[in-house]
C-alpha cells in the first residue's frame, strides 16, 4: 500500500461511535466488575472508551504496580499480552485476564528466548538489559529489565561497562547516546507502529504549526527524535506538557490512544498526532483489539487467563524487581 493510500484511510478515531450501545456496554462492565470484584486496568494506548471504563490508566509498569497495591483478586488487563504477563509475574496469586488473546506485540515477537541466546553467545560476558516489551521467557534470560521511563537510569545503575540491549533498536540508540561511557550492542528489533513515522512527517507538521512543541516516544526513529523538543515515555508525556506552560499546541509522536488522557487532563491545549493523518499510521492494531465487547466477554466468561510457567516467572521476576529498584529517568 502506498503512503498516499495510507493517508486516505479513515482514521480509527473517526469510526462512527454508537454512544447508546457503548453506554450500555460500559454499565454492564462496571456492574459485573463490581459483582466479581475485578480491577480493570487500561494501558495508555487502549481505545478511549476502554480507558474510560477502567479503574486505572497508565503505562505497563504503573499498571502492574497498581495491581500489586489493589486488594482485588481478579485483574482485567486491557493491554497487550506481554503487559498482562508482567502483571501476572508481579502478582502470582491473582487471576490476570486479557480480554483478547490475539492482542500481541510485534516488538515483543521480534525476540524469542532462542534468538536472545544466539545474541548472548555472539556477545558473551555482557549484561543483558531488556525492554519490558518482551515475553516472560526473554525477561527470564535477561539480567535486568527497563521501561522507556527508566532505561537510562537502569543502564547507569549497572557496574558492567559492556551491555547487550534488547529488543528495540530505536530506544537502544537513544539510550546509548546518553550513556556514552557504556559499550552497548543493540538488538535489531523495533515497534512497527513507531518505526513507520519519519522525520519528514514531523517536519511537515512543524511547518504547518511552527509554534507546536514536539513530544516523541523513544521507540521512534532517530530522524524523528532529532526534531523533538521532549523525548519521553507515555507517562512522562504528561510531565512534558507541564514543562511548557506557554505552549498551546503539541505534536505527539506516539500511538494515538495516548492523546485521550492528554486531552482530558489539559483541555485548553491542542494535541495533534504527529503522523499527519490523525493516527492512521501511529495506530497499534493489537492495542485496539480489547474493545468494550471483548472486555464484557472477558468478565462474563472469565477469559482469557494468563499463565506463566513458575520457573520462567521466578527468573523474569528477578529481572523486573531489579529494574523496579531503579528510579525513573525523570
Ligand atoms: O511500558 C509501556 O507501557 C510502554 C509500552 C511504553 C511507555 O512509554 O509507557
Are 88 and 69 members of one domain? yes
Q: What gap in Å lies between CA 247 and CA 226, rounded to an integer?
A: 20
Q: What is the pLDDT of residues 263-305, one digit of tens each?
A: 999 999 999 999 988 778 899 999 999 999 999 999 999 999 9
- 291 plus 229 within the same structural domain: no
- Domain assignment present for residue 11? The answer is no
170 & 318 share domain: yes
Position 98 in a domain = yes
Domain housing 92: 19-104+287-301
Inside any domain, residue 4: no
Residue 234 has which C-alpha cell? 507515555
Report yes or no on 221 lying in a domain: yes
* Exposure of 43 in the CB half-sphere (CA atoms within 13 A): 31
Number of domains forming the structure of the chain: 3
Cβ–ligand 1 distance for 261 under 6 Å, the answer no
Residue 10 placed within a domain: no
Q: Examine the domain organization and report whether 93 and 45 are in the same domain.
A: yes
Helices (H), 162-307: 169-178, 192-195, 199-208, 222-225, 236-242, 259-265, 292-301
What is the value of pTM for the model shown?
Answer: 0.93
Supply the DSSP string of 22-36, one letter for each residue.
HHHHHHHHHHHHHHH
User: Does one domain contain both 186 and 317?
Assistant: yes
For residue 2, being part of any structural domain is answered with no
Q: Are residues 75 and 224 in the same domain?
A: no
CA of 232 to the centre of ligand 1 (A): 10
Q: Do 223 and 261 share a structural domain?
A: yes
Asked if pLDDT for residue 9 goes beyond 90, the answer is: no
CATH number for the domain that contains residue 145:
3.40.50.10800
What value does the mean pLDDT of the chain take? 94
Q: Cell match 447508546: residue?
A: 20
CA atoms of 286 and 301, how far apart (whole Å): 21
Pocket test for ligand 1, best of 42, 51, 60, 83 (most atoms within 8 A of CB): 60
d(CA 163, CA 184) in angstroms, rounded, equals: 5
My answer on whether 111 and 188 are in the same domain is yes
Residue 3, in any domain of the structure: no
DSSP letters, 264-276, are HH-TTSEEEETTS
CB-CB contact of 43 with 78 (8 Å): yes
Closest residue by Cα to atom 1, ligand 1, is 60
pLDDT in tens, 54-113: 999 999 889 988 999 999 999 999 999 999 999 999 999 999 999 999 999 999 999 999
161 pLDDT band, cuts 50/70/90, is very high
Residue 278 domain-assigned? Answer: no
- Site to probe by mutation for ligand 1, drawn from 63, 234, 252, 284 as the one with most ligand atoms within 8 Å of Cβ, is 234
* Residue 134 and residue 118 share a domain: yes
Q: What is the pLDDT of residue 226?
A: 98
pLDDT of residue 16: 60
Q: Who contacts 82 (Cβ-Cβ below 8 Å, separation ≥6)?
A: 60, 105, 108, 132, 133, 134, 135, 136
Does ligand 1 lie within 6 Å of residue 108's CB atom?
no
Per-residue pLDDT band for 146 (boundaries 50, 70, 90) equals: very high
Q: Is the CB of 142 under 6 A from ligand 1?
A: no
Amino acid at each position: 500500500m502506498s503512503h498516499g493510500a495510507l493517508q486516505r484511510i479513515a482514521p480509527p478515531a473517526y469510526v462512527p461511535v454508537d454512544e447508546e450501545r457503548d453506554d450500555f456496554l460500559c454499565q454492564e462492565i462496571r456492574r459485573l466488575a463490581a459483582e466479581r470484584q475485578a480491577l480493570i486496568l487500561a494501558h495508555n494506548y487502549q481505545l478511549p472508551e476502554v480507558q474510560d471504563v477502567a479503574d486505572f490508566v497508565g503505562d505497563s509498569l504503573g499498571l502492574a504496580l497498581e495491581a500489586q497495591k489493589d486488594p482485588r483478586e481478579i485483574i482485567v488487563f486491557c493491554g497487550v499480552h506481554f503487559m498482562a504477563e508482567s502483571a501476572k509475574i508481579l502478582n502470582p496469586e491473582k487471576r490476570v485476564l486479557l480480554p483478547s488473546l490475539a492482542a500481541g506485540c510485534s516488538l515483543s515477537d521480534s525476540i524469542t528466548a532462542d534468538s536472545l541466546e544466539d545474541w548472548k553467545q555472539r556477545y558473551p560476558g555482557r549484561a543483558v538489559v531488556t525492554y519490558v516489551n518482551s515475553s516472560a521467557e526473554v525477561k527470564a534470560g535477561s539480567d535486568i529489565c527497563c521501561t522507556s521511563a527508566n532505561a537510562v537510569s537502569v543502564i547507569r545503575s549497572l557496574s558492567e561497562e559492556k551491555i547487550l540491549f534488547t529488543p528495540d533498536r530505536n530506544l537502544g540508540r537513544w539510550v546509548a547516546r546518553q550513556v556514552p561511557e557504556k559499550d552497548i550492542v543493540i538488538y535489531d528489533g523495533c515497534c512497527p507502529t513507531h518505526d513507520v513515522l519519519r522525520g519528514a512527517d514531523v517536519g511537515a507538521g512543524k511547518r504547518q504549526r511552527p509554534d507546536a512543541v514536539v513530544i516523541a516516544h523513544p521507540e521512534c526513529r532517530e530522524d524523528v527524535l532529532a526534531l523533538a523538543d521532549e523525548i519521553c515515555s507515555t507517562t512522562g508525556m504528561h510531565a512534558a506538557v507541564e514543562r511548557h506552560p506557554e505552549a498551546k499546541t503539541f505534536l505527539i509522536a506516539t500511538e494515538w490512544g495516548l492523546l485521550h488522557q492528554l486531552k482530558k487532563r489539559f483541555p485548553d491545549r491542542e494535541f495533534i498526532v504527529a503522523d499527519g493523518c490523525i493516527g492512521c499510521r501511529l495506530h497499534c492494531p493489537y492495542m485496539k483489539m480489547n474493545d468494550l465487547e471483548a472486555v464484557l466477554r472477558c468478565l462474563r466468561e472469565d477469559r482469557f487467563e494468563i499463565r506463566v510457567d513458575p520457573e520462567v516467572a521466578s527468573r523474569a521476576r528477578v529481572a523486573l524487581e531489579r529494574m523496579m529498584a531503579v528510579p525513573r529517568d525523570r
